[in-house]
């Protein structure tokens, strides 16, 4: 059975420090996009997209704006067999199921509707196809690393008056 959790970041945005779980995590962000950092990559996690984070993967979350993190935890390797984080192509039904399961009170979580929603979401997760997402190797962003992947930083030229 999945555990449920809904976290809110500080109202002005903020950081969830790096950590890992002994269980697989399905994360859904609402309110703002965020950056998910792992030991290997930075992932730009779009608003209302889901990210699968396998058990044992160190990860942290950062957003300059307020966001809500809705997450469900599943026993390791029981729903998806992936060693790397994956953005999943879930439809509106699956997103609503995540929100429903995260919002359910403890008394409701033991009920038949909760179990049916969890069973349906588990089927949808098992069949979900990974989507490409914006990620960048941590090595490329660290000083002294290979220049083969460069960071794209928008610049604006400002001309001073003579």
Q: How many CB atoms lie within 10 A of CB 67?
A: 23
**3-class SS of residue 130:** strand
Q: pLDDT value at position 33?
A: 84
Q: pLDDT value at position 119?
A: 94
Burial of 99 (0-12, 13-18, 19+ CB in 10 A): middle
CATH 3.10.20.30 holds for 3-137: no
What Cα–Cα distance (Å) separates residue 115 from each residue in 1, 20, 88, 102, 110? 9, 26, 22, 13, 7
Do residues 55 and 21 touch, judged by C-beta distance below 8 A?
yes
- Residues of the chain with confidence (pLDDT) below 50: 140-162
Do residues 117 and 97 touch, judged by C-beta distance below 8 A?
yes
Q: pLDDT value at position 107?
A: 61
Q: pLDDT value at position 148?
A: 31
Write the DSSP string, 149-161. Answer: S---------PPP
């Amino acid at each position: 059975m999945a555990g449920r959790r809904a976290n809110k970041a500080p109202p002005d945005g903020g950081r969830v420090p790096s950590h890992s779980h002994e269980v697989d995590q399905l994360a859904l962000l609402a309110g703002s996009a965020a950056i998910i950092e792992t030991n290997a990559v930075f992932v730009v996690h779009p608003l209302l997209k889901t990210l699968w984070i396998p058990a044992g993967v160190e990860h942290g979350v950062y957003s300059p704006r307020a966001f809500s993190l809705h997450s469900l935890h599943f026993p390791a390797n029981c729903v998806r067999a992936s060693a790397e984080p994956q953005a999943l192509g879930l439809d509106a039904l699956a997103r609503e199921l995540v929100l429903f399961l995260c919002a359910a009170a403890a008394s409701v979580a033991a009920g038949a509707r909760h179990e049916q929603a969890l069973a349906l979401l588990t089927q949808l997760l098992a069949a979900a196809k990974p989507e490409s997402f914006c990620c960048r190797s941590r090595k490329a962003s660290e000083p002294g690393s290979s220049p083969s992947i460069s960071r794209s930083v928008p610049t604006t030229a400002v001309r001073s008056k003579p």
